[in-house]
Amino acid sequence: MRDTMENTCVIIKPDGVCKKVSGDIIKRFDSEGLKLVAMRMVRPSKETLEQFYAVHKGREFFEPLIRFMCSAPVIVMAWQAENAVAKVRQIIGATNSKDAAAGTLRAMFGTDGRRNVVHASDSAANAQKELAFFFKPEDLMKYEYGDWNK
């Protein structure tokens, strides 16, 4: 049986922080069985965000996204679970909050495709890259899965 334990990156965007729904967002992931393994509040530089979102460079939304993400602090987190990436993507909903399914975080707290309260990794490979922007390997808690239940 293949090990499916993953870490994934979640960022509570400036709109989530400013709306004061960070606690609701964290509680939701926690209640869905994900384990928080790292968290910090930061105000990333424009340069860091341009590297972080480099895959979107050249698209019409790139510059507005960078300005938005620089507008206020964000909360960067690493969550762990079996198939964490897929689980988180299901919890957050579609990119455009107006298209997100009822009960998802983006439907509950988001406004549109940019002000959608959270960023989440779209693959395990990207999760590793994204987490490296904000955390050193030693920052991520190293627990065996069974230890969480003690």
Q: Which residues are catalytic?
A: 119
Distances (CA, A) of 81 to 11, 78, 87, 139: 17, 10, 8, 17
Distances in Å between the Cα of 117 and the Cα atoms of 27, 60, 103, 121, 145 are: 14, 20, 14, 14, 29
Please tell me the distance from the alpha carbon of residue 114 to that of residue 3, in angstroms, as a whole number.
34
CA-CA distance, 121 to 16, in Å (whole number)? 17
> Where does residue 35 fall: left (phi above 0), alpha (psi -120 to 50 degrees), or beta otherwise?
beta
**The pair of three-digit structure tokens given for residue 7, joined into one six-digit string:** 């870490």
Residue 111, H or E segment: none
